[in-house]
A and B are shown apart, each in its own frame.
Chain A
Amino acid sequence: MSILTWCKWFIRLCSPNSFSDDICGDLEEEHTTISQSIKGKSNADLWMIQQTLKICIHFILSKNNLLSLLVSVAAISISFTMIVSVSWLSDLEDASVLSDAFWQQWLNGSTYQIFLEPVLWQSAPQAWSQPVDWNMWFYQPSVIYALISFYTLYKITAKLHLSITEYSLVSMLTLLIPYLIGNALFFFMDIKMTEAGPIVAFMWISTLYLILPISYQFINRLRMSERCFT
Chain B
Amino acid sequence: MTEWLEKHVPKMVLAPSFIAIFVFVYGFIGWTAYVSFTRSKLLPKYDLKGTIQYERLADSPRFEVALTNLAIFGILFILFATVIGLALAILLDQKIRTEGPLRTIYLYPMALSFIVTGTAWKWILNPGLGIESVMHDLGWTDFAFNWLVDPKLAIYTIVIAGVWQSSGFVMALFLAGLRSVDNEVIRAAMVDGVSTPRIYMSIIIPSMAPIFLSAFIVLSHLAIKSFDLVIALTGGGPGYATDMPATFMYAMAFSRGDIGQAASSATVMMIIVTAIIVPYLYSELRPRHD
A binds B: no
